[in-house]
């Protein structure tokens, strides 16, 4: 199943960018219209009227990337 292998390889690559961290390379994995979504509940279909842990479009992903490399973002150290 070459498709499954490609998906796996993508996920490993994404995880390694996050672990390094190399958010400049990480964000390039996403298209301009991508959303980074971590729903708050199983089977959640609505990110707008229901809360999520994260629901970032490109603008919020860019802000998150800049926050993460800021020297005074304490939470990135833990």
Partner 1 sequence: MQKIPDRNFDALVKPTKLHRSLYTDPDIFELEMSRIWGQAWIYIGHESQVPNAGDYFTTNINHEIPVVMIRDKDDSVRVLHNRCGHKGAKVVDKQSGNVRGALRCAYHGWSYRFDGSLLKIPNEHGYQDTGFDASEPCYSMQPLAQVSSYRGFVFATLSDTIPDLVTWMGGAITCFDNLCDRAPEGEVEVAGGVLRYEHDCNWKFILENLNDTMHPMVVHESVVKAAESYIATLPPEAAKQRREAEIIPPFGASYENFENTGITGFDYGHHYDGGKTSIHADYSVDPDYHEAMVAAYGETRTREIYAFNTHNVLYYPSLTIKCAVQNIRVIRPISVDRFVVESWSFRLKGAPDSMLQRTVLYSRLINSAMGMVGPDDLEVYRRTQKGLHSPVNDWVEFHRQYGKDRILPDRIEGGGTSDLDMRTQYRAWKAYMEKSYQRGVDHA
Q: Check residue 1 for interaction with partner 1 (CB under 8 A).
A: no
Q: Check residue 63 for interaction with partner 1 (CB under 8 A).
A: yes
**Residue 8 in contact with residue 25, Cβ under 8 Å?**
no
Q: Check residue 49 for interaction with partner 1 (CB under 8 A).
A: yes
- Written as one string, the DSSP assignment of 18-71 is HHTT-HHHHHHTS-TT--EEEESSTT---SSSS-EEEEE-HHHHHHHHHHHHST
Of 7, 15, 34, 38, the one binding partner 1 by CB under 8 A: 38
Residues in contact with partner 1 by CB under 8 A are 38, 40-41, 44, 48-55, 59-60, 62-67, 70-75, 77-78
């Amino acid at each position: 199943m070459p498709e499954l292998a490609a998906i796996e390889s993508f996920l490993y690559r994404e995880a390694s960018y996050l672990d390094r961290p190399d958010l400049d390379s990480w964000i390039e994995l996403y298209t301009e219209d991508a959303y980074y979504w971590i729903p708050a509940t199983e089977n959640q279909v609505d990110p707008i009227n229901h809360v999520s842990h994260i629901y970032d479009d490109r603008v919020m992903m860019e802000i998150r990337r800049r926050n993460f490399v800021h020297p005074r973002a304490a939470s990135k150290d833990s």
